[in-house]
Amino acid sequence: MTILYWVLIAVMILGVIGAVVPGVPGSSLILGSIIIWAIAQGFGTVGWALGVAIVVLLLSVSIDLLATYFGAKRGGASKWGQIGAIVGFFFGFLGLLPALPIGGPLLGIFLGPLLGAIIGEYLYRRDINIAVKAGIAVVVSSVIGNLIQGVLALAVVIFFVATTWPPPGLGL
């Protein structure tokens, strides 16, 4: 059981990283790890941690949407800019942008929404200054949202460890 505990902690740490890096299911990895531990040890041992993980997963989805929405709105982005950012995200993530010499898809995840928002906004308003401002606002708000998600994910992992320590078989 001790090995399973440490493997699940490692997966949760990947989940914390995934909460910050777009395109990686961070909170889902953490929630899945807690569910696996609950199945192995009994749900009574992780009730609070599981509840907190579910709330954080719901908050993460909300934060992602709200951060992008408010950032785009504050930056003056129209629906065209927001749609362009979403399309750009998928193009960047799937590598459909021209081959990048460094960074690959990870850089494409940031570059795609920026270019998509700028192109979408420019098509709508025909003003490059507004388009660039809106594009930068969309990307900055997404980054801020991801950082908040990372902090929440880390809090869930710390809460899980605090409520389940020591793991069975550790002998403490």
Question: What local confidence, expressed as pLDDT, does residue 133 receive?
Answer: 86
Side-chain-facing half-sphere of 70: CA atoms under 13 Å: 10
pLDDT per residue as tens digits for the range 107-158: 777 777 788 888 888 888 888 888 888 888 887 887 888 888 888 888 888 8
Question: What local confidence, expressed as pLDDT, does residue 97 receive?
Answer: 58
Is-contact 2 170, C-beta < 8 A?
yes
Share of the chain above pLDDT 90, in %: 3
pTM of the model: 0.71
Is-contact 167 1, C-beta < 8 A?
yes
Question: What local confidence, expressed as pLDDT, does residue 163 receive?
Answer: 81
Distance CA 158, CA 8 (A): 13
Question: What local confidence, expressed as pLDDT, does residue 96 receive?
Answer: 63
Ordered alpha helix ranges (H), the chain: 2-20, 26-41, 47-74, 79-93, 104-125, 128-164
